[in-house]
């Protein structure tokens, strides 16, 4: 049976990837594509439905993102969200107005009343809170549309043309602040688009395995194995697909967590795959000497990884494919379409311009972190690997603020190990999705043994998240933080102050660099 696909067409809004998450939570496969995607390409995908995202522009301005109006002639159900709804109205002959005062603009939690005879709101409460964020407003509807929801300021809070299966919401159903938003999206997917919701990680594993076999054929593949969740799942997937044609190369760049290089080697010693460990710590630290800018660090590490892989590939004969455990948040933060580059991930935006392989394969490229874990479980990986703490490819290089030295690496390894030990001892290691220490470049005055010290400040970071696109700081109990602080200051030289990061994402990112 052909896979059912919903397309999320990106107009540059801040919640675009969250829409994809919500669709997948209904077990419906979706992909995010730019609004610039050619109509013929969209038609070839045969989507069951299309969702227009929000965006920061005004649709009536000359430089605003717009699609070919042929999109409305494909016979495919469409849901427009915020800017997406305004583009639908504008493109079909309606009018969009600019709020000259606060009479039409709405921001934040808003009471909204809905018509439950609309397929979009079937089975929902008539009144609930939604999340509004718009300066422009729908002034006049196109022919064939009616209003199916309104707020005090917005008579067209949601609109529909039931005959054409076109729907629009001025609010954002994808965010948690919209009380019934998840169910609204579910109604669109199932009641309007006819999606059956059969996309599971078991199905994904079977499909991906078959596609990898077909693509690689009799060729050889080299996997960049870090020992983290993503590359471990990619390893299992490739091993199932091509067996002995796969070689896993673990590059120990000298920036791993304490004892981690040995732990990774032990984990894959009896895995049945060809495993090669390359100790390249001196090489990487030499390249990074004196470099403080985080983007330069990432790009240096990205290029050096590739060069090491190329050298190792030559030792084992002709290798056609390089496989990476890249996941969707890596792609998004490295810049997708017109989206801003938040930071270049070493395996995406940090790649050099020339790579000496036939092709780079990224079998997890369209999966979020929780989906990767679910895939790992479906593939039979052990909990120790599936639930391993996330660790960035550049390693401690982006958890040391400023220039990197062997001494700083050793300090951070020891401090981070204590942090992780105490979190595990407090049985918080499953409830905190990611936690780690950061060695800042700030020094401060302290006193130890009646003597003045002038040493580093260490920052601790812990977050709760499901998709790693948004995150809340974790509320670690004070007594646990106190024990961690006491141990680190007493056991690790050159640290005399501990701080805890209480910033969520956004506005911060999870990592500091």
- 439 contacts 415 by C-beta, under 8 angstroms: yes
Which among 248, 236, 240, 242 has a CA at the least distance from the CA of 219?
A: 242
| Tally of residues, the chain | 513
Distances (CA, A) of 357 to 51, 79, 277, 313, 370: 36, 41, 20, 9, 30
**Mind listing the pLDDT tens digit for each residue in 312-344?**
878 887 788 888 888 876 766 554 444 444 334
Average pLDDT over all residues of the chain: 87
The closest alpha carbon to 80, from 123, 122, 24, 120, belongs to 120
Query: Which range is least confidently modeled, 202-216, 385-399, 415-429, 487-501?
Result: 385-399
Q: Which of 312, 393, 323 is nearest to 358 (CA)?
A: 323
Tokens found for residue 378: 């479906």
pLDDT exceeds cutoff 80 at 216: yes
**CA atoms of 249 and 223, how far apart (whole Å):** 6
In a 3-state reduction of DSSP, which class is residue 34? strand
> pTM value?
0.66
Look at residue 132 in the predicted model and tell me its pLDDT.
82
Measured between alpha carbons, how far is residue 435 from residues 69, 364, 406, 460, 497 in Å? Answer: 47, 23, 22, 8, 18
Q: What is the tens place of the pLDDT at every residue in 99-146?
A: 665 456 667 788 889 999 999 999 999 999 888 876 788 889 999 999
Find the mean pLDDT for residues 176-181.
87
Q: Is 26 annotated in the active site?
A: no
Q: Copy the structure tokens of residue 458.
A: 């260490």
Q: What is the pLDDT of residues 226-237, one digit of tens each?
A: 778 898 899 989
Element holding 312 (H helix, E strand): helix 294-315
Catalytic residue, from 30, 82, 193, 195: name it.
82
Q: What integer pLDDT is reported at residue 277 of this predicted model?
A: 93
Give me the domains of the chain, ranges plus CATH numbers. 5-192 (3.40.50.880), 201-386 (3.40.50.620), 399-500 (3.30.300.10)
Question: Which two tokens mark 419?
Answer: 């942090």
Query: What pLDDT, in 10s, does the model give residues 366-395?
Result: 888 888 999 999 998 888 778 888 788 889
Q: Which residues contact 15 (CB under 8 A, 6 or more apart)?
A: 53, 54, 81, 172, 174, 175
* Closest among 128, 106, 102 to 115, alpha carbons compared: 128
Of the candidates 26, 134, 172, 253, the residue annotated as catalytic is 172
Percent of the chain having pLDDT more than 90? 51
The one catalytic residue among 26, 106, 160, 174: 174
Note the maximum CA span of the chain: 81
How much is the pLDDT for 7?
A: 94
Q: What does the pLDDT read at residue 344?
A: 41
Catalytic residue at 82? yes
The per-residue pLDDT for 257 is 93
Instruction: Return the pLDDT at 339.
Output: 42
């Amino acid at each position: 049976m052909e896979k059912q696909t919903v397309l999320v067409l990106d107009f540059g809004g801040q919640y675009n990837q969250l829409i994809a998450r919500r669709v997948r939570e209904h077990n419906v496969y979706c992909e995010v594509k730019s609004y610039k995607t050619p109509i013929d390409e969209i038609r070839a995908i045969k989507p069951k439905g299309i969702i227009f995202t929000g965006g920061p522009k005004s649709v009536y301005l000359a430089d605003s993102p717009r699609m070919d109006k042929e999109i409305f002639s494909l016979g495919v159900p469409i849901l427009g969200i915020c800017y997406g709804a305004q583009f639908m109205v504008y493109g079909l002959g309606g009018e969009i107005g600019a709020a000259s005062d606060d009479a039409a603009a709405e921001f934040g939690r808003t009471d909204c009343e809905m018509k439950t005879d609309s397929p979009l709101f079937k089975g929902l409460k008539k009144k609930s809170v939604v999340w509004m964020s718009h300066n422009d407003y729908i002034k006049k509807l196109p022919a064939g549309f009616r209003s199916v929801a309104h707020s005090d300021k917005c008579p067209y809070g949601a609109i529909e043309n039931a005959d054409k299966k076109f729907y629009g919401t001025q609010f954002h159903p994808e965010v948690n602040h919209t009380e019934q938003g998840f169910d609204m999206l579910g109604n669109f997917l199932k009641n309007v688009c006819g999606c059956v919701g059969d996309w599971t990680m078991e199905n994904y594993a079977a499909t991906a395995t078959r596609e990898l076999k077909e693509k690689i054929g009799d060729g050889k593949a080299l996997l960049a194995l870090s020992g983290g969740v993503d590359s471990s799942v990619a390893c299992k997937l490739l091993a199932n697909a091509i067996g002995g044609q796969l070689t896993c190369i673990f590059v120990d760049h000298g920036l791993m967590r304490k004892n981690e290089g040995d732990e990774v080697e032990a984990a894959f010693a009896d895995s049945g795959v060809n495993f090669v460990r390359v100790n390249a710590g001196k090489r990487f630290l030499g390249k990074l000497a004196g470099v403080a800018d985080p983007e330069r660090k990432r790009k240096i590490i990205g290029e050096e990884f590739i060069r090491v892989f190329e050298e190792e590939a030559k030792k084992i004969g002709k290798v056609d494919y390089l496989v990476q455990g890249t996941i969707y948040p890596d792609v998004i933060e490295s810049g997708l379409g017109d989206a801003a580059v938040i930071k270049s991930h070493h395996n995406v935006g940090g790649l050099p311009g020339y790579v000496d392989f036939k092709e780079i394969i990224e079998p997890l490229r369209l999966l979020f972190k929780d989906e990767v874990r679910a895939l790992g479980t479906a593939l039979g990986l052990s909990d120790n690997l599936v639930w391993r703490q996330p660790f960035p490819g550049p390693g401690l290089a982006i958890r040391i603020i400023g220039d990197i030295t062997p001494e700083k690496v050793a300090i951070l390894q020891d401090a981070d190990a204590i942090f992780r030990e105490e979190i595990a001892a407090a049985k918080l290691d499953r409830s905190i999705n990611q936690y780690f220490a950061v060695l800042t470049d700030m020094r401060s005055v302290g006193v130890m043994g009646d003597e003045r010290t002038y040493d580093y400040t260490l920052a601790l970071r812990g977050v709760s998240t499901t998709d790693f696109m948004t995150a809340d700081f974790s509320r670690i109990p004070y007594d646990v933080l106190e024990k961690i602080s006491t141990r680190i200051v007493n056991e690790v030289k050159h640290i005399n102050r501990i701080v805890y990061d209480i910033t969520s994402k956004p506005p911060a990112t999870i990592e500091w660099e």
